[in-house]
Structure 1
Amino acid sequence: MTITTVSDVLTTRADELRALASVNEELGKLSDETVQIMRESGVMKLLAPVEYGGTRAHPVEFAETVMKLASLDGSAGWVAGVVGVHPWELELMSPKLQEEIWGESDEVWVSSPYAPMGTATPVEGGYRFSGHWQFSTGTDHSDWVILGAFLGDSEGKPVQPPRFLHVVVPRKDYTIIDDSWNVVGLKGTGSKDVVIDDVFVPEYRALDQAELFAGEVARKAGKTEPIHRLPFYSIFPVGLTSAVIGIAEGALQAHMDYQRERVQINGFKSVEDPYTMYAVSEAAGEISASRDTLLASINRLYDTVAAGGEISLEQRAVARRTQIQAAWRATNAIDMILSRSGGNGLRLNNPVQRFWRDAHMGLAHAIHVPGPSYHGAILTEIGVEPAANLVWAV
């Protein structure tokens, strides 16, 4: 399925997706109707293996599709941006695991998170695994989960210095905490807690995070496609930032629809108010610039590996800074929009306020924390080797 087909489906079903956004928010997870539209569109298969119905699409195509979906429903776009990246990583793992996940149905979703909120203790043939994770986006509609873990020692305590794993677990081995997602924004993502209590995980369902970040996992798997030669932190953040930008585009469109007929308290139409229109136009320019800079950055990285080159630490770091800045820039633009919406812009039946809440929730994700990434980026440009904690952030 090509990006044109995906976009066509989303465009055709746009009114339905917009209408379902408030339903998803009320449910605290995506509705079955929204999930079905997403499945029909193919958005979740853009980065999936071709052997299981995927397309291994260009990351720009993935980003643009996530933006489109997020502009209709922020929560649906966020789920696509997070869960839609996981097939990229799973294709680097054991073929046996891929067959377990997608062998019977290539529609299976795999959730996360990657934060090491559990410990995997080595035993014969694999690991004993326990933990409690927050923020498992889209977990209600997923049949597997990728979880971050500390590697444990013989006593089950994290080894020192810490080593991190990504561990893949089937739905029967974890519990979803249903009442654990009570938040201000992105309510429809259903990003609930999951718990695992002393489960055995075969060795082939885990991989070393450091090897993944360094590209060793892709090399060992014999993956030479450009999409798999991108560093983890050059592909994983793309979906999340694309969702934030798409949310900003949705906010802008909803705001313009609202302002078109709005009459201000002084009796003037908003479209006749040069101050309001200036601010809205400035916000529109900021959102457009956010989109363009993110996509250009992705293209530069992809073109480098497609031409047979290697991505340097400086390139990685600058791309991460660009990605983070794009999210902040787009969200700041939504603030400008909301401040020109008047009291009616904050009514719960006005989608502008939901987009505003969704964007700020997305900006709070750890992938959008600017400090370490900005620090690491400027050090590489100055020619100073960043410390390990900064390198990790890029």
Structure 2
Amino acid sequence: MAEIQEVSDTELIARARSMVPKLRERAADVERESRLSDETMAELRAADLFRTLQPRAFGGLERDFGTMVEIALELGRGCASTAWVYQNLAMHQLLIGFFPRRAQEEFWGPDPTRLISTAWAATHSTARPVDGGYLVSGHWEFASGILNDEGVSVMAPVEGREIAPGVAERRFFLLEEDRNDYEIKKVWDVIGLRGTGSEDVVCDEIFIPEHRSLSTVKSNMHGEKVVLQGAAVHDSTFYRVPLWSWFPMTIPPALIGAAQGGLEHMIELLEDRTDLFGNRLAGREGVKRRLAEASGKIDAARLLLRRDLSEMAELANRWELPSIERRGVWRRDASYSAILAFEAVGMLFYRGGAHGIGTDDALARAYRDIGAGATHVSADFDVAGEIYGEAVQGLPVRNPNF
């Protein structure tokens, strides 16, 4: 393996920031093509951005989860779809690090630049235990970035295994890189985040060896000083954080970044935009108030994420496990920050007037993209609110993805 070229967090974030002008120029094409361009993917790789969370043992930089979030916040200013694909594929580099070392060696050994998408939302899926592994079948939706990567992880319940009465054990499965084993169904026809190419994945009784699977329960354990399987060989403290605590944190950054990009676009438009009677919109009191409130919501959303990620890092560094209540707060904040971003861009879109409803308008695109992203289950405040309400009151948290 080639020697790892070190780069600071500050430099990684600066590289992402420098891409924003190009991403803005390409945003309309990304939306039309329903995927990121090869050029954009090459630039993300060349900037080492996908290496941020990748284990150092396999050519990555193994940095703090918060660094990845800051990168996505910057990319989102230019293109929400690009930021969404980036934050998901980058996060999956951390996920692979939880698998047994053998699986990591098989995936990254031939090429340490490999990336995977994930498809966990299933219309139906099952994993049947057999000698040495599982036969996995199913139809999964929302595999963001699958047209731009080299593999996919799916999630399925295991036949005959329960973690509680009526609750099946679920496992992550790392499919082989041979795409003949599964089918990508191109069904992604949506109003927002079109460029993510979040297509469906279908397979029928693919054999997955045991070492290429990972229990979603064990990866969320609360035991003392727990590091799991392959994670035991890596230094990153985020392997000490329960998976379902940081998974939801992957969703808001692209949306918050896109809201910031929408705000910047709106301010630029106001320099010369007038109403039908020639009056400058920038001088209106309502416009000033909308700018203030929208920017406040965006700042609040960023601060929530940064605070929670800082807490996660501090606890992990001290080998302290987060309380159920703190994890409930983190889940609440992941959802609420996405809501704040959507509220902010909605205010700006409304104030943009009839001249801002064109399909190629940057603010209209941000409104569509953030609205689409806010439908993600991690942004569903009804779900997050229920989790928080149970956690803060000391009640059993019933959601299995917690």
Please give the TM-score of this superposition, normalised by the length of structure 1.
0.93
Find the counterpart in structure 2 of residue 361 from structure 1.
372
Q: Does residue 194 of structure 1 match 2:197?
A: no
Post-superposition CA distance 1:229-281 (Å, at most 9, x none) = 11112221222111111111111111111122211223211211121111112
Q: Does residue 184 of structure 1 match 2:184?
A: no
> Of 323, 327, 339, which residue of structure 2 is paired with 1:312?
323
Structure 1 residue 219: deviation in Å? 3.7
Find the counterpart in structure 2 of residue 344 from structure 1.
355
| Aligned-partner SS, 1:143 | coil
| Aligned-partner SS, 2:140 | strand
Find the counterpart in structure 1 of residue 157 from structure 2.
150
Query: Aligned partners of 1:47 and 1:363: how far apart in 2?
Result: 24
Query: Aligned partners of 1:333 and 1:175: how far apart in 2?
Result: 38
> Of 218, 224, 228, which residue of structure 1 is paired with 2:227?
218
| Aligned-partner SS, 2:351 | coil
Post-superposition CA distance 1:150-185 (Å, at most 9, x none) = 10249xxxx95311111110242211112x100000
1:59-138 aligned at under 5 Å gives the runs 59-116=65-122, 117-138=124-145
Over 6 Å off, 4+ runs: none
Root-mean-square deviation (CA, aligned residues, Å) is 1.8
Contact map agreement 1:115 1:149 (CA 8 A) in 2: no
> Of 8, 11, 32, which residue of structure 2 is paired with 1:5?
11
| Aligned-partner SS, 1:37 | helix
Question: Kindly tell me: are residues 304 and 387 of structure 1, through their superposed partners in 2, closer, same or farther at Cα, counting changes over 3 Å?
Answer: closer
Question: Kindly tell me: are residues 24 and 215 of structure 1, through their superposed partners in 2, closer, same or farther at Cα, counting changes over 3 Å?
Answer: farther
Post-superposition CA distance 1:13-48 (Å, at most 9, x none) = 322111111111111111111111111122211111
Tell which deviates more after alignment, 134-143 or 50-59.
50-59
Structure 1 residue 306: deviation in Å? 1.1
Aligned length: 386
**Seq. identity, %:** 27
> Of 200, 224, 244, which residue of structure 2 is paired with 1:233?
244
1:39-78 aligned at under 5 Å gives the runs 39-78=45-84
Q: Does residue 26 of structure 1 match 2:32?
A: yes
Structure 1 residue 387: deviation in Å? 4.1
Find the counterpart in structure 1 of residue 4 from structure 2.
none
Query: Aligned partners of 1:47 and 1:292: how far apart in 2?
Result: 21
Segments of 5+ residues of structure 2 without an aligned counterpart are 1-6
> Of 383, 387, 390, which residue of structure 2 is paired with 1:372?
383
Post-superposition CA distance 1:359-389 (Å, at most 9, x none) = 011001111111232123133323x323423
Contact map agreement 1:215 1:229 (CA 8 A) in 2: no
Query: Aligned partners of 1:153 and 1:182: how far apart in 2?
Result: 36
Find the counterpart in structure 1 of residue 396 from structure 2.
386
> Of 284, 291, 306, which residue of structure 2 is paired with 1:280?
291
Contact map agreement 1:5 1:41 (CA 8 A) in 2: no
| Aligned-partner SS, 2:152 | strand
Contact map agreement 1:3 1:65 (CA 8 A) in 2: no
Segments of 5+ residues of structure 1 without an aligned counterpart are none
Post-superposition CA distance 1:72-93 (Å, at most 9, x none) = 1100100111111111121121
Query: Aligned partners of 2:89 and 2:251: how far apart in 1?
Result: 10
Structure 1 residue 326: deviation in Å? 0.8
Structure 1 residue 224: deviation in Å? 5.9
Question: Kindly tell me: are residues 128 and 219 of structure 1, through their superposed partners in 2, closer, same or farther at Cα, counting changes over 3 Å?
Answer: closer
| Aligned-partner SS, 2:320 | coil
Query: Aligned partners of 1:230 and 1:11: how far apart in 2?
Result: 28
| Aligned-partner SS, 2:390 | helix
Structure 1 residue 65: deviation in Å? 0.6
Query: Aligned partners of 1:111 and 1:43: how far apart in 2?
Result: 16
Query: Aligned partners of 2:119 and 2:335: how far apart in 1?
Result: 19
Find the counterpart in structure 2 of residue 14 from structure 1.
20
Post-superposition CA distance 1:168-211 (Å, at most 9, x none) = 10242211112x10000000000001111111111100111111
Query: Aligned partners of 2:70 and 2:270: how far apart in 1?
Result: 26
Query: Aligned partners of 1:11 and 1:280: how far apart in 2?
Result: 23
The code of the aligned residue for 2:256 comes to I
Find the counterpart in structure 1 of residue 338 from structure 2.
327
